[in-house]
Structure 1
Amino acid sequence: MAGGAAAATGVKAAGPPLSKKQEYFAFALITSLFFLWGISYGLIDVLNSKVQKSFGITKLQSTMLQVAYFGAYLVFSIPASLFASRFGYRKAVILGLCLYCCGALAFWPSAHYEAYGGFVGSAFIIACGLATLETVANSYITVLGTPERAAFRLNFAQSFNGLAAFLGPLIASKTFLTEKEADSLTSVQYVYLAVACLGAAVAVLFLFAKLPEITEENLEDEQEAAGIADTRPLWQRKHTIFGFVSQFCYVGAQVTTATFVVNLFKESKHHAMTSSQAAEMLTYAQVAFMVSRFAATPLLHFFNPSLVLSAFATLCSVGAIVIASTEGHAMTAGVFMIFIGESVIYPTTFSLATSNLGRLSKRGAGLLCMGVAGGAAFPPMQGALADAKNTNISYMIAFAGFCVPIMYGAGMFFYTRRMAATVAQNLALQQEYAGNNLEKVDSTDKIEDSQVEAAIRV
């Protein structure tokens, strides 16, 4: 189906009825969180190159920033989802913004005392806040509206993440990566102070805004309206578990790709760039990412998201091979192929893997956000290979990661087709019962055909 995973057209959105004005306001407010995530993510990749020089450490040692930053998702995503389940989306957002601001402010003393451990700790705290925000925002966007448009909504909202992601390297190239600041961490202090102020401003908006809450009961009602009966625990939902694996490998490949782009252009004999110039190239690549995300989002309205996922992941894999085996302009083309291909993978995987979860949607969102921890696992592997061989060859690590979402997309194509058939049959049964004026039966009794039962339990 074009807009989601096995969602029946005409099924009403979960939660209380909203006017278009209320729905657009809630969507805009939640989308602002993606902008905050993009700013922070764009800065952390360039900060990796900065600390290599400032603290005189190796590429492998510098990846501790990524380990702390993305490892926080492994530690904090599930607690964040449980918090959201108990206290609601709005309070979870405020918690995430508080942690985000605290982490950003912690960079000030870390830079002042030139403590690399402080940088690592600050990255961990800010990422705990982001893990909370992502768990909430991704999940809320997917359920804020009709199910069949979930992938479209999430990709559109995540486009603003891409808008902010290119600002991070641009800000860094004009501040702490300039020749004037080559031996200083002062500009790092002020950049992250500004990030903290931005987070605080958004927190104030959420404190006073009236955000419509969507409960687990609302999500369960939506499932019943769609004719989907599935009471299995989360760990038995194969499309969600495999989605987590795909997300883990993809995010690992995405993060490690961006982490070493600055090194890639600095070490290239053909380019021979300074740190500031290499950061600008990363900015251009992030611009390509942003433009591709906006441009590719409409594809999810017309084509099966699973096929779009596999196609874009294939483009990333080809780009990684090109980087590993070439130099010069071909290598540059490979970098841009990856960033263009990455544009729709994360949000599309998220919407596919959290589809049809009902009251488990918030916990499923937490599990998918845990997949971001792949960003902690892949950079050390690539850093070790880059130190042992060279940065170009190390992109074979990214290639391996990009291959997994190709397979996941292919598998989900068949899953969504079977689920769509199941939903259609269940709705037809409901109409038949209603037409015969029969008493409403429990949705778990409507699925008697063994083939339909097997389709649901994929």
Structure 2
Amino acid sequence: MGNSMSAPQSAVPPVGAPMNSSSTYVFPLLVMTSLFFIWGFITSLNDILIPHLKSAFELTYVQAMLIQFTFFGAYFLVSLPAGALIRRIGYQNGVSVGLGVAALGCILFYPAAAIQQYWLFLAALFVMASGITLLQVSANPYVAVLGNPDTASSRLNFSQAINSVGHTVGPLFGALLIMNGDHTQVAESADPAAVQLPYLMIAAFLILAALVFKFLRLPAIAGDNSDLGGASHTSAWQYPHLVLGAAAIFLYVGAEVSIGSFIINFISLPEIGQIDERTAAQYLTLYWGGAMVGRFVGSAVLQFVRATRALAFNAVLAIGLLALVILVEGRIAMWAVLAIGLFNSIMFPTIFSLGIRGLGAHTSQGSGILCLAIVGGAIVPVLQGVLADSVSVSMSFTVPLVCYLFIGWYALVGANKH
């Protein structure tokens, strides 16, 4: 999402595998962590597709935001079926299937561009996102389980930082091969065919990765029902801090995705950055790069600072930066919107950990609820698109500002409602 999501799965290592034998798990952890890079890379390309296809098909902002609506809507529709599939075929096979499905989605970009039908692009995105959902359902619990349980959070934070590396590199790839592949002027319509070669390249890589994962020898992990302590309710839905945490995840993912989706169009405005969209696409890397740096730094800082305080601090700074985006023009507004990525960094894992705290036997159900809340990435960008079309792009950033207000309240109040 820079958005790193956890899956609705509960798992333990194979019988007889010592949890503290970290050397046993180094290779499989490195292999699985590579998946976080892959889906971060692919997800960030949506921020290149939005302005490119908006120009190619002369779309409104709302129509362009259907890209994120379709992509993140797949999380909501596919997460639970993906979990059921993983329980049947195993985590490693799930990774291979997910990579294959994502590759199919990438291949579908070719006929979509040839026919020049926007709805076919959306169909391709849904297929691709379904494959990525399978990857997340497989990889998140796998990384959490392999190794010492006391360092599970550290492993996930590192994997999420690698996800941010993918988010950072993706826009550079897109700017080079998609926007530079279109040789028209900014004022003219972009060429849908510019996406064909880049997505075929990604498809080839995903197919190769699927074959590699199919034949790798990785430790097996299985489901577990041993987490029976600490439950005081009959359902995870009875924990107010979880339900409020799901709302915070919904709004956070929505805000992060929405801001990233609008950055290119925003900073290329004459009154903001006065740059063309290809150059703006390169600046987008700073937004996701900030999240990457913040996650590496945050993983160290959170060892000494309470999670609720760190979350509140970051939310307040994000609100302040958005106020600048809305109220001022020029390079100040441009750098303010790019800097938000730095303060997004720790939000998802922090909200997630606060949401499942103290759930006991309902932890797995709570994780599933939080995973479904990722659908905020589908809804919030459309809402911002409505405001951009009806008022202005600058004023549309009021939508993510409201999201961060709730996140700040959750950090200070909602997370303590047990």
Q: Could you state the TM-score of these two structures normalised by the residue count of structure 1?
A: 0.80
Distance 1:305 1:14 in 2: 28
Is 2:249 aligned against 1:242? Answer: no
Q: What letter matches 2:23 in structure 1?
A: K
Residue 179 of structure 1 deviates from its aligned partner by 7.3
CA 1:343 to 1:30, structure 2 compared with 1: closer, same or farther past 3 Å?
same
Distance 2:356 2:196 in 1: 38
Deviates more, 1:362-371 or 1:63-72: 362-371
Task: Kindly provide the CA deviation profile for residues 162-208 of structure 1, in whole angstroms up to 9, marking residues without a partner as x.
Answer: 11112221112112212743442333111111211222232223212
Task: Kindly provide the CA deviation profile for residues 283-340 of structure 1, in whole angstroms up to 9, marking residues without a partner as x.
Answer: 2222222222222221222333333222222222222222111112321232133110
Counterparts of 1:307-346 in structure 2, within 5 Å, are: 307-346=309-348
CA 1:186 to 1:106, structure 2 compared with 1: closer, same or farther past 3 Å?
same
- SS at 1:298's partner residue? helix
Distance 2:138 2:356 in 1: 13
Distance 2:85 2:232 in 1: 24
Cross-structure match for 2:125: 123
Distance 2:242 2:145 in 1: 16
Q: What letter matches 1:55 in structure 2?
A: F
Cross-structure match for 2:376: 374
Residue 157 of structure 1 deviates from its aligned partner by 0.6
Is 2:199 aligned against 1:192? Answer: yes
Cross-structure match for 2:294: 292
- SS at 2:302's partner residue? helix
Distance 1:68 1:41 in 2: 12
Q: What letter matches 1:210 in structure 2?
A: R
Q: What letter matches 2:235 in structure 1?
A: P
In the alignment, structure 1 segments of 5+ residues that lack a partner are: 1-12, 416-457
Counterparts of 1:332-411 in structure 2, within 5 Å, are: 332-355=334-357, 361-411=363-413
Cross-structure match for 2:5: none
- Structure 2 contact 109–199 (Cα < 8 Å) conserved: yes
- Structure 1 contact 312–342 (Cα < 8 Å) conserved: yes
- SS at 1:302's partner residue? coil
Look at both structures and tell me which one has the larger radius of gyration over its CA atoms: 1
CA 1:133 to 1:353, structure 2 compared with 1: closer, same or farther past 3 Å?
farther
- SS at 1:301's partner residue? coil
Q: What letter matches 2:412 in structure 1?
A: A
Pick one of 12, 24, 27 that aligns with 2:26: 24
Q: What letter matches 1:204 in structure 2?
A: L
Counterparts of 1:35-434 in structure 2, within 5 Å, are: 35-178=37-180, 180-182=182-184, 183-217=190-224, 220-221=225-226, 223=227, 228-229=230-231, 232-355=234-357, 361-411=363-413, 414=416
- Structure 1 contact 14–146 (Cα < 8 Å) conserved: no
- Structure 2 contact 292–345 (Cα < 8 Å) conserved: yes
In the alignment, structure 2 segments of 5+ residues that lack a partner are: 1-11, 185-189
Distance 2:276 2:131 in 1: 33
CA 1:303 to 1:87, structure 2 compared with 1: closer, same or farther past 3 Å?
farther
- Structure 1 contact 110–119 (Cα < 8 Å) conserved: yes
Task: Kindly provide the CA deviation profile for residues 99-148 of structure 1, in whole angstroms up to 9, marking residues without a partner as x.
Answer: 21111111111111111111111111111111222233233333334444
Residue 77 of structure 1 deviates from its aligned partner by 1.1
- SS at 2:393's partner residue? coil
- SS at 2:178's partner residue? coil
Residue 97 of structure 1 deviates from its aligned partner by 1.7
CA 1:384 to 1:65, structure 2 compared with 1: closer, same or farther past 3 Å?
same
The percent identity for this pair of structures is 31
Cross-structure match for 2:9: none
Q: Could you state the TM-score of these two structures normalised by the residue count of structure 2?
A: 0.88
Residue 370 of structure 1 deviates from its aligned partner by 1.6
Distance 2:245 2:277 in 1: 36
Paired residues in the alignment total 399
- Structure 1 contact 151–300 (Cα < 8 Å) conserved: no
Residue 228 of structure 1 deviates from its aligned partner by 3.5
Task: Kindly provide the CA deviation profile for residues 332-387 of structure 1, in whole angstroms up to 9, marking residues without a partner as x.
Answer: 23213311011111222233334555665555433322222111111111111111
Distance 1:358 1:89 in 2: 24
- Structure 1 contact 49–262 (Cα < 8 Å) conserved: yes
- Structure 2 contact 230–361 (Cα < 8 Å) conserved: no
